[in-house]
Structure formats: C-alpha cells, structure tokens
Amino acid sequence: MEQELSPVRNPCVGVCALDENDICIACHRTGIEIGEWGTYSNEEKIAVWKKVVRREKGELKE
C-alpha cells in the first residue's frame, strides 16, 4: 500500500521582495522557485527547502 505524503509547507511569509540576485529577502527562494512552487512535486519542494536553509545561513550564494 502506497503511503500518502502530506503536502510540503510553502516557505512564503507574505513579504515578497527580490534582491539584486533574484532571491526573496523574506523566504529566501528565487523568483523561479516562487513562481513554480505550485507545480513542484514534494521531492522538488523538499529540495527547495534545503536550499532555503542554506541561503538563510549564507552558505549558498547564487
């Protein structure tokens, strides 16, 4: 029996402002990640979350 995965929470905090590198200053996603979030699979959303965490820590520069 296949287990149903719960939806991955959207990182949006309601403050949409992209910096000069096309990264949101609030949720740390790129403009493309924001625009395409609704089309991503759970696996893709989890991958974006991992990037968000790294961007918040300053580990990932794009």
What are the pLDDT digits (tens) for 15-39? 999 999 999 999 999 999 999 999 9
- Name the average pLDDT for the chain: 91
Domain assignment of residue 61, yes or no = no
Query: Does the pLDDT value for residue 1 go beyond 50?
Result: no
pTM: 0.85
Structural domain including 30 reads: 13-53
- Residue 60 belongs to a domain: no
Structural domain includes residue 62:
no
Tell me whether residue 43 is in a domain: yes
Q: Read out DSSP for 16-47? A: --B-TTSBBTTT--BHHHHHHGGG--HHHHHH
Position 19 in a domain: yes
